[in-house]
Amino acid sequence: MNHRDPPGIIAPHIPADEYRRAEATGQPVVIVVHTADQTGRPLRHYLFPLAVAGAGAMGVFGLVAAFLALLDVAAHTAAAVGAAAGPVGVGGITLRLARPNAK
């Protein structure tokens, strides 16, 4: 009998002639299932922490990009306000917030 089942099958197939012979003679049918113990850890034990770390890294990159975009908008806003306001003076000290337009 050269029949091989893939691992993980709980009740492998018993050929009909073997079953009928065992039924007729009352002889027990012995099923031998070869299992191999896993060596090492399954891949899913490594993939879950890597997926969590990757998601965290992407979140941090997104946070940094959003912060830099916010700083860029703030700088442009400050430049626009400074150009529109002209020179600002406090207590006799005058500051020019933006360079004059070159004409």
**Whole-number Å distance between alpha carbons of 16 and 91:** 107
pLDDT band at residue 86, thresholds of 50, 70 and 90? Answer: low
9 CB contacts (<8 Å, ≥6 apart)?
33
Q: Calculate the CA dihedral of residues 80, 82, 83, 89 and round it to 10 degrees.
A: 170
**Of 16 and 76, more confident:** 76
**Whole-number Å distance between alpha carbons of 70 and 27:** 82
Q: Where are the domains of the chain?
A: 41-75
Q: Are 32 and 18 in contact (CB under 8 A)?
A: no
- Summarize pLDDT for 25-46 with one digit per residue, the tens: 988 877 776 777 777 788 888 9
Q: Using alpha carbons only, give the angle 91, 101, 93 rounded to the nearest 5 degrees.
A: 10
- Summarize pLDDT for 41-83 with one digit per residue, the tens: 888 889 999 999 999 999 999 999 999 999 999 999 888 877 7
